């Protein structure tokens, strides 16, 4: 069954898959709100959401769980969107938001802030600054030679990433033991200190608004730079736009939750196996599916061995790897 | 037809509606400039570019399409240099069939034909019934209708080649720049593609194609450009260019030339006899 695609966007909006994903996102949010140290039944949850319910439940759901669930959704959405954009930019389905060293720069800055004993907000700010610094360094180095190709950008980024990797290991090695758990959680991705969900949600909405009109152009770019140029795409400006946009939204995600792995690589890839590669469908679908995956993963991370919490990055990999392998198997039939 | 505008060895006037190269030196790294090209590809003409591997055929085609800058000289479309036109506007006039393609992401045959409409649609516009009709007609013309839903990855080399041609046919440019359009094709489809390109020329489109098959070139091209590996070049109407000694020098290969059905046919001699 070669043509097992769910739907095709051309001609009419592919509302089917997007409606399913939106429904899944909503269910994931409700699940995240209901589960925890005190679990609520559907009736109790509805009471709270309708403005009633017990005071304890109201505090739990509206003040503790809702911001975190929304932050998880926004972060996952950003990572998946950034991954989809990086894959098109580098014409490589195996690219992820961190492939150009962005998370490395963020991590080094965040670990330094932790070593200095700064609070969560300042650690987030340091991560954002580190991510942007790394982006600008890679941008400058790849741009410098004049002739520029996705391969050159990829190589520059990968080399920078391994440099950051060494610095991370160095920082871990010289850090006092009592700080190590916090650092390791940050490196694996952790939503416990996410703070307000609105920055990531707003960035996700703005990011989608910027890339959706570019959808068909990105479809053409996916066929290669020369082919895209021959079909009227101004390739170079588009590529820099993609790079800076993907970097910025990744930096926002990393600032909120540390470097959560897997979502940015696998979500767009999984969706492509089912939905094809029309960016006008894949980009919004990635946003919804990435948000859903991270919401569920974070719910598991804080309930699986409660009261202890796991780094959410561990869960995304544990859910994602078998799901991905299963889809890959099926698509090869 | 004299005056400063008249150029080119054929002495024809400057084409107001044509793809024209003036003093063009293509940028092949590490090669001396050689002879600058003065070509005018006019509507209805079918140009063939012949030359051994590495002579710069693909580079020339990409330079004529404005996809890479020349070392010297310039290419203009309807009298305006390509560098002064926007990419999107050029894509409405120039269609390129590439030799290499990058199918890193999944796509169906129909989607691939449909991207030929990209230069004609504004960013927010979805492809409409008319765009679909053009893509379907192109697939039909290239005998690909039955494969419309297939993934590119499942196609044979020849089928994939025809999909590339279908994309340009959907694009319906005024000038076709085709890099070895008969690559990977069986005999029937080679003739079908050359017929298609000849048909395009009859409808007033200009065609320039890189070819490796001398006999296809002899049979289907109205003009020929011979590119030598050292940057030398000569060009003109096909019948004047099909001199066996020039072709033997071009390919460093001795040839036997016979006339069949009023057309010249070239057959390589065995190298044992050649030296």
Band of pLDDT at residue A12, cut at 50, 70 and 90: very low
CATH fold of B15-93+173-243? Rossmann fold (3.40.50)
Does B104 contact A2 at a Cβ distance shorter than 8 Å?
Answer: no
CB contact under 8 A, A214 and B123: yes
The β-bridge partners of B21 are B39, B75
| Chain A residues with CB-CB distance to B124 below 8 A | 213
Any CB–CB contact under 8 A between A276 and chain B? yes
Tell if the CB–CB gap between A227 and B119 is shorter than 8 Å: no
Local confidence band at B115 (pLDDT 50, 70, 90 cut-offs): very high
**For residue B69, what pLDDT band results from cuts at 50, 70 and 90?**
very high
Question: CA-to-CA distance for B215 and B213, rounded, in angstroms?
Answer: 5
The mean pLDDT of A212-220, rounded to a whole number, is 94
Burial of A160 (0-12, 13-18, 19+ CB in 10 A): buried
Range of lowest pLDDT (A120-134, A280-294, B124-138): A120-134
Quote the CA–CA distance of B30 and A122 in Å, as a whole number: 54
Q: What is the mean predicted confidence (pLDDT) over A168-183?
A: 91
Contacts of A214 in chain B (CB under 8 A): 123
At A196 the pLDDT is 87
Mean pLDDT over B80-107 rounds to 93
Chain B residues closer than 8 Å to A278 by CB = 111
Give yes or no for a contact between A161 and A98, defined as CB atoms under 8 angstroms apart: yes
CB contact under 8 A, B105 and A10: no
The pLDDT, as a whole number, for residue B274 is 44
What mean pLDDT is predicted for residues A99-120? 88
Instruction: Kindly report which listed range (A65-69, B187-191, B193-197, B266-270) carries the lowest average pLDDT score.
Output: B266-270
Q: How distant, in Å, are the alpha carbons of A95, B55, B67, B74, B149 from that of B60?
A: 33, 9, 10, 12, 35
> What is the distance in angstroms between the Cα of B109 and the nearest Cα belonging to chain A?
11
B107 three-state secondary structure: coil
| Residue A144 confidence (pLDDT) | 63
Largest CA distance in chain B: 64
Q: Which residue has the higher pLDDT, B147 or A154?
A: B147
Residue A131, judged by CB atoms within 10 A of its CB (0-12, 13-18, 19+), counts as buried
Q: Report whether pLDDT(A10) > 80.
A: no
State yes or no: pLDDT of B145 exceeds 50: yes
Q: Which residues of A touch B128 (CB under 8 A)?
A: 11
How sure is the predictor about A24, in pLDDT bands with cuts at 50, 70 and 90?
very high
**CB-count burial class (<10 Å; 0-12, 13-18, 19+) for B271:** exposed
Q: Verify whether the Cβ–Cβ distance B98 to A91 is below 8 Å.
A: no
Q: Is residue A120 predicted with pLDDT exceeding 80?
A: no
Say yes or no: A237 contacts chain B, CB-CB below 8 A: no
What are the boundaries of each domain within chain A?
15-331
Torsion of CA A239, A244, A249, A253, to 10 degrees: 120
ω into residue A87 within 30 of 0, thus cis?
Answer: no
| Smallest CA–CA distance from B96 into chain A, residue | A230
A221-233 tens-digit pLDDT? 999 999 999 999 9
Determine the pLDDT at residue B271. 63
Question: What is the pLDDT confidence band of residue A192, given thresholds at 50, 70 and 90?
Answer: confident
Tell me: pLDDT of A201 over 80.
Answer: yes
Q: Is B90's CB within 8 Å of A277's CB?
A: no
What confidence category does residue A283 fall into, taking pLDDT thresholds of 50, 70 and 90? Answer: very high
In angstroms, what CA-CA distances link A315 with A261, A295, A297, B9? 10, 11, 5, 72
The predicted pLDDT at position A323 comes to 81
Please check whether residue B79 is in contact with residue B14, taking contact to mean a CB–CB distance below 8 angstroms: yes
Question: What integer pLDDT is reported at residue A148 of this predicted model?
Answer: 67
Dist CA A258 CA A186 (whole Å)? 5
- Taking residues A132-136, report their average pLDDT: 88
Does residue A211 register a pLDDT over 90?
yes
Domain A15-331 listed as CATH 3.40.50.10140: no
Dihedral of the alpha carbons of A190, A192, A196, A201, in degrees to the nearest 10 = 40
Instruction: Give me the residue from B89, B115, B129 closest to A231, CB to CB.
Output: B115
Query: Do residues A75 and A257 lie in contact, with contact meaning Cβ atoms separated by under 8 Å?
Result: yes
Dihedral sign computed on CA atoms, order A140, A142, A145, A148: negative
Alpha helix locations (H) across A212-278? 215-221, 225-230, 235-257, 263-275
- In the structure encoding, which two tokens stand for residue B33, read together? 């400039």
> Is the distance from CB of A291 to CB of A171 less than 8 angstroms?
no
Domain ranges of chain B: 15-93+173-243, 105-172
Collect all residues with Cβ–Cβ distance below 8 Å to A205 and sequence separation of at least 6.
Answer: none
What's the mean per-residue pLDDT of chain A? Answer: 87
Q: Is the pLDDT of residue B169 over 80?
A: yes
């Amino acid at each position: 069954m070669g043509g097992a695609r769910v739907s095709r966007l051309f001609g009419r909006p592919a509302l089917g898959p997007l409606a399913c994903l939106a429904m899944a996102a909503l269910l994931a949010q409700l699940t995240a709100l209901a589960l925890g140290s005190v679990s609520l039944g559907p009736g109790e949850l509805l009471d709270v959401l309708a403005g009633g319910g017990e005071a304890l439940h109201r505090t739990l759901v509206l003040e503790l769980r809702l911001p975190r669930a929304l932050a998880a959704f926004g972060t996952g959405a950003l990572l998946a969107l950034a991954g989809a954009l990086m894959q098109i930019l580098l014409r490589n389905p195996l690219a992820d938001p961190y492939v150009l060293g962005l998370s490395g720069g963020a991590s080094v800055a965040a670990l330094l802030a932790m070593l200095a004993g700064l609070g969560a907000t300042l650690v987030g700010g340091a991560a954002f600054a580190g991510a942007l610094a790394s982006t600008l360094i890679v941008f400058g180095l790849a741009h410098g030679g004049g002739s520029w190709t996705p391969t050159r950008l990829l190589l520059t980024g990968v080399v920078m990433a391994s440099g950051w990797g060494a610095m991370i290991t160095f920082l871990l090695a010289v850090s006092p033991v009592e700080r190590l758990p916090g650092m390791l959680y940050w490196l694996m991705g952790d939503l416990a200190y996410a703070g307000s969900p609105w920055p990531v949600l707003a960035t996700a909405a703005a990011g989608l608004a910027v890339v959706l009109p570019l959808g068909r152009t990105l479809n053409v770019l996916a066929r290669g730079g020369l082919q895209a140029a021959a079909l009227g795409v101004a390739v170079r400006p588009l590529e820099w736009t993609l790079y800076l946009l993907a970097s910025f939204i990744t930096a926002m995600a990393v600032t909120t939750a540390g470097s959560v792995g897997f979502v940015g690589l696998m979500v767009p890839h999984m969706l492509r196996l089912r939905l094809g590669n029309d960016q006008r469908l894949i980009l919004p679908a990635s946003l919804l599916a990435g948000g859903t995956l991270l919401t569920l993963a974070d719910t598991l991370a804080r309930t699986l061995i409660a009261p202890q919490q796991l780094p959410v990055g561990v869960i995304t990999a544990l859910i994602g790897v078998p799901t991905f392998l299963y889809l890959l198997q099926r698509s090869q039939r | 037809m004299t005056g400063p505008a008249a150029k080119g060895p054929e002495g024809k006037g400057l084409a107001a509606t044509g793809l024209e190269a003036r003093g063009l030196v293509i940028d092949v790294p590490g090669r001396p400039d050689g002879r600058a090209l003065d070509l005018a590809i006019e509507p209805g003409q079918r140009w063939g570019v012949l030359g051994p591997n590495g002579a710069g055929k693909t580079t020339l085609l990409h330079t004529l399409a404005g996809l890479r800058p020349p070392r010297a000289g310039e290419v203009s479309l309807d009298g305006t240099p390509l560098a002064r036109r926007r990419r999107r506007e050029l894509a409405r006039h120039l269609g390129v069939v590439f030799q290499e393609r990058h199918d890193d992401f999944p796509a169906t045959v129909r989607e691939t034909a449909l991207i030929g409409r990209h230069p004609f649609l504004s960013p927010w516009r979805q492809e409409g019934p008319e765009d679909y009709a053009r893509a379907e007609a192109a697939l039909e013309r290239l005998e690909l209708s039955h494969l419309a839903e297939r993934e590119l990855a499942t196609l044979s080399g020849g089928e994939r080649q025809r999909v590339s041609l279908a994309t340009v046919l959907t694009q319906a440019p005024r000038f076709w720049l085709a890099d070895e359009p008969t690559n990977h094709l069986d005999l029937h489809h080679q003739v079908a593609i050359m017929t298609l390109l000849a048909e395009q020329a009859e409808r007033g489109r200009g065609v320039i194609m890189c070819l490796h098959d001398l006999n296809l070139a002899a049979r289907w091209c109205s003009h020929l450009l011979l590119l030598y590996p050292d940057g030398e070049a000569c060009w003109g109407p096909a019948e004047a260019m099909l001199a066996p000694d020039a072709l033997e020098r071009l390919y460093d290969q001795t040839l036997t030339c016979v006339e069949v059905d009023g057309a010249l046919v070239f057959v390589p001699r065995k190298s044992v006899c050649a030296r």
